[in-house]
Structure 1
């Protein structure tokens, strides 16, 4: 299989991706190449020019999606924690949720309908890199972390991932901006009111 695709192959690839998502959403079962090709209106020889099997199709789909997500999470402009406002949110964080919302069927399929452990691990790895970069930028003399960096990173990865799952399961009841605000608030201030936070403040 060649990495260079002509316009017809690109169209076929798009049809196969859409067909896979449509079928897995409807049937929630293991799919055959024939079923996918029939749904896409693509011949089996065309399928085999692009993929070896259904597994390689799934892998190509999530690799492409995660590459797009990774590009959106590159921190190009540093933002201090004290500069964050409702009208001035970290664009990368908003991009994370907007990307998931724009590709809702894909993420619903790969995270909930037919969970893919390889995809989930790679998604968590991308989240970890993004969070680590953000925490290292924020960990200045004026804004020192009160807990070990590695602990904070792994805690945040779990929080981000579970928040994404909750958002999908609840039919995206909040916008991308609102999800960013919620996650920032709980990350910076915790889930409690300021009064309760003071009761649980740890002494150094």
Structure 2
């Protein structure tokens, strides 16, 4: 694969920024290549050198975010012996907070449901490592529990990122923690 030049990277970044400004305000089906080009200051032929269509630019941005989440998950799973469950939740929320500009939109009303499914899948190794380490569940039960809890927590985080209503991040972490099955198995959380 060819290495991108500085000009190529800048042009792609300009298209992505223009797309993002539009996507924050309206759904993907209402965004046109013409809109993106007009906002970015390029013609359509330049756009098509980099992207097939509007969905292509969305998927590229989503993949960049998912790659960051994957790197984070791998790192956090490797640190399993050094973290407790509350620290893992703080790390998850910290990553989401850093990507806040994108997460709010991608998990919002104009967001992509496939992206949400991918986030849930990418976070599962953390949940297995930190939150469902007991022997009281079968593998199939753990899978169902993770799907339920991760989806619910993503919805709660989505609401918090969009409008926190004065609720602190620490309190959101506590609320998240309290929703886990048999949270009493985790030590030091309420101390």
What TM-score range do you get, normalising by the shorter chain? Answer: 0.7 to 0.9
How big is the shift at 1:21?
1.9
User: Is the 8 Å Cα contact of residues 177 and 183 (structure 2) preserved in structure 1?
Assistant: no
Tell me the equivalent position of 2:102: 106
Alignment partner of 1:33 is 2:29 = no
How big is the shift at 1:60?
0.8
Alignment partner of 1:49 is 2:45 = no
User: Which residue of the other structure, out of 131, 140, 156, is the alignment partner of 1:166?
Assistant: 156
User: Is the 8 Å Cα contact of residues 73 and 95 (structure 1) preserved in structure 2?
Assistant: no
Tell me the equivalent position of 1:18: 17
Residues 117-142 of structure 1: CA distance to partner in whole angstroms, max 9, x if unpaired?
3322222211223323445xx63xxx
- Give the Cα–Cα distance (whole angstroms) in 2 for the partners of residues 96 and 110 of structure 1: 16
Tell me the equivalent position of 2:84: 84
TM-score, normalised by the number of residues in structure 1: 0.72
- Give the Cα–Cα distance (whole angstroms) in 1 for the partners of residues 103 and 63 of structure 2: 13
CA 1:79 to 1:175, structure 2 compared with 1: closer, same or farther past 3 Å? farther
User: Is the 8 Å Cα contact of residues 107 and 158 (structure 2) preserved in structure 1?
Assistant: no
CA RMSD across the alignment: 2.8
How big is the shift at 1:189?
4.0
User: Is the 8 Å Cα contact of residues 73 and 125 (structure 2) preserved in structure 1?
Assistant: no
TM-score, normalised by the number of residues in structure 2: 0.77
How big is the shift at 1:22?
1.3
TM superposition outliers: structure 1 runs of 4+ over 6 Å: none
CA 1:150 to 1:51, structure 2 compared with 1: closer, same or farther past 3 Å? same
User: Is the 8 Å Cα contact of residues 26 and 110 (structure 2) preserved in structure 1?
Assistant: no
CA 1:154 to 1:51, structure 2 compared with 1: closer, same or farther past 3 Å? same
Long gaps (5+) in structure 2: 185-191
